[in-house]
Amino acid sequence: MLLIDALLQELDIFGVKQLFGIPGDFVLPLFEQLQQRNHLPLYYLSHEPSVVFAADAAARISNKPAVVILTYGAGALNAVNAVAQAYVEHVPLLVIAGFPSQGEIARGLQIHHQARTVDSQRDIYREITAARFRLDNPDTAGSDIRAALTVVEQQSRPVLLEIPRDALSFNTTAAGPYLPEPIAADKIELAVAALTGRLQKAKKPVILAGVDVRRFEAVTELEALATKLNIPFICTLMGRASFNQHHPRFGGIFLDKSDIRPAKLLSEADLILQIGVIKTDSNFAAHSELFPAEKVLCLEQQQLALKPLLAALLAAPLAAFQPPVMPALPSVATEQQLSATSLVQGLERILTARHDTVPLISDIGDCLFASLHANPSLMLAPAFYASMGYAVPAAFGVQAATGLRPVVLVGDGAFLMTGLELGHCARYGFAPIIIVFNNQRWDMIDAFAPGLNCTGLDNWQYAELARSMGGHGMQVSNLADFDEVLSLALNSNRRFSLIEVMLPAGSRTARLNNFAEGFKAAAKSNLTPC
């Protein structure tokens, strides 16, 4: 079997439905064979970080491995930041990178796109991938592809798969039937016994759930456990939209102490079950006093598979707790003046009235904090690693994977990084709705370092730029106009729409101010994450 056919067979086994990539000479033979086979849709963008963000979004929204193909050195190394984000936020991504042939290496010359050594690419990726494989042996290539995808699936993290330029001529042997890793029943039994003991001693337990609960398909089990035991569950910012926010035991999203209900539940709990939580400074550093070690019990996929563990705990003979008294949610006033907050409030009102399934994607910045005023059923954001420029190419990946038209919240600073990728929408018939928060500044930077004089961004006409790329471009400066053009965009699915919202100076959300102040205070106090 030719290597290309072995690769496509394995991608089918692991549920890969599309490919993303940017051509370069070391992977041109691979692209040619993929095009000839025409087995999976292949999507091209212009810049390596963008195409990785697109693949990353496809993986997040589908909860299946995604594949991105990049050339050797100049391509793969240009993508390092985006792959690093996928690594720390637990996104299942197979990065296929080109590599020189053995004949090229044997010449003894430095090869174009090579860094310090011919292996520098692999060495750099060692820090941002769960594993690395090189298909340089026809006898093992088929099993190596299987091994790479197995790690992607089991760890929900990126893996590097290098394909030498001449490897596409290999004949190899397919890996055979795929057998998922068996469940460690004895270890689960011991863990359930320990968990049962802790729960029996508790009086006011609380679950803090993170995004890994969704990554490893344990949402149903967690919500059922909360129902059976009458335990309230809270989610982290990264875990947002993973859970049913109308569940009777849902206690809210915890970001900071302004989240009154979850903060109160956490402070009063005598046992906090942290399930599938990526323990980050943004989640914990400013709030360490809420998570003393003696009342925190962490359940992580890396220790035991979450889905079978929660299923076993659900079946254990545990009595339900007294139904918790949920603290009242503070009322949130609807802002009447144009701001990031009122913009998202208006967006939520319009989307709720339409009853459509609309994925919401937020970039980093005040748009992310404003997005807390929406309650989407599908939500993507790089809320921990926080790499700017994610949202626009992520919209591309979401529509490629689901066919759904996403709405994107992006600041003007982040849009400047990757916004030109919108020019590819016409090629594929994609029509996302992009809302640009234009306050003519890098507001996130200004929130953390108000004395810097580099944060101004002016003289950019984003609506005009959108029209030049074949989309609808509209600029608004009041709420009534925003409601009108958003409705027009939602009803127009032939081209992408960009709504440039001219925000008044000083309209930053209170959530961003609170987050920045808490984060800075934690840094000064040398607080460490739980």
CA–CA separation, 150 and 146 (whole Å): 6
- Burial classification of residue 323, based on how many CB atoms lie within 10 Å of its CB (0-12 exposed, 13-18 middle, 19 or more buried): exposed
pLDDT surpasses 90 at 291: no
Q: How confident is the model at residue 285 (pLDDT cuts 50, 70, 90)?
A: low
Alpha-carbon Rg for the chain in angstroms: 24
Segment 36-52, tens digit of pLDDT: 999 999 999 999 999 99
Range 465-493 average pLDDT:
95
pLDDT surpasses 50 at 283: yes
User: Which candidate, 324, 73, 293, 292, places its Cα nearest to that of 204?
Assistant: 324
Whole-model pTM?
0.94
The residue assigned the tokens 């810097």 is 452
Q: What is the helix (H) or strand (E) element at residue 10, kind and residue range?
A: helix 3-13
CA–CA separation, 231 and 266 (whole Å): 12
Question: What residue spans define the domains of the chain?
Answer: 3-169, 185-315, 340-514
CA–CA separation, 142 and 132 (whole Å): 15
Q: What is the pLDDT of residue 452?
A: 79
CA–CA separation, 383 and 365 (whole Å): 10
Which of 3.30.420.10, 3.20.20.70, 3.40.50.1220, 3.30.56.10 is the CATH number of 185-315? 3.40.50.1220
Domains 3-169 and 340-514 share a fold: yes
Range of weakest confidence among 318-327, 342-351, 520-529:
520-529
Q: What is the pLDDT of residue 190?
A: 95
Question: Do residues 1 and 168 lie in contact, with contact meaning Cβ atoms separated by under 8 Å?
Answer: no
Segment 174-205, tens digit of pLDDT: 898 888 888 889 999 999 999 999 999 999 99
- Report DSSP letters for 130-195, one per residue: S-EEE---TTTHHHHHHHHHHHHHHHTS-EEEEEETTGGG-B-----S--PPPP-HHHHHHHHHHH
Pair of tokens at residue 20? 């993303």
Task: Output the average pLDDT for the chain.
Answer: 92
pLDDT surpasses 70 at 525: no
pLDDT surpasses 60 at 437: yes
Question: Do residues 135 and 3 lie in contact, with contact meaning Cβ atoms separated by under 8 Å?
Answer: yes
What DSSP state is assigned to residue 288?
Answer: G
The residue assigned the tokens 């750099």 is 124
Which of 3.40.50.150, 3.30.465.10, 1.20.1270.10, 3.40.50.970 is the CATH number of 3-169? 3.40.50.970
Segment 64-102, tens digit of pLDDT: 999 999 999 999 999 999 999 999 999 999 999 999 999
Q: Tell me the three state secondary structure of residue 443.
A: helix
Q: What is the pLDDT of residue 181?
A: 82
pLDDT surpasses 70 at 325: yes
Pair of tokens at residue 348? 């939520």
Q: What is the pLDDT of residue 519?
A: 66
pLDDT surpasses 70 at 522: no
Q: Tell me the three state secondary structure of residue 205.
A: strand
pLDDT surpasses 50 at 530: no
CATH number of 340-514: 3.40.50.970
Q: How confident is the model at residue 508 (pLDDT cuts 50, 70, 90)?
A: confident
CA–CA separation, 245 and 249 (whole Å): 9
Q: What is the pLDDT of residue 520?
A: 67
Q: What is the pLDDT of residue 528?
A: 44
Range 397-420 average pLDDT:
96
Greater pLDDT, 501 or 256: 501
Q: What is the pLDDT of residue 378?
A: 92
Q: What is the pLDDT of residue 337?
A: 86
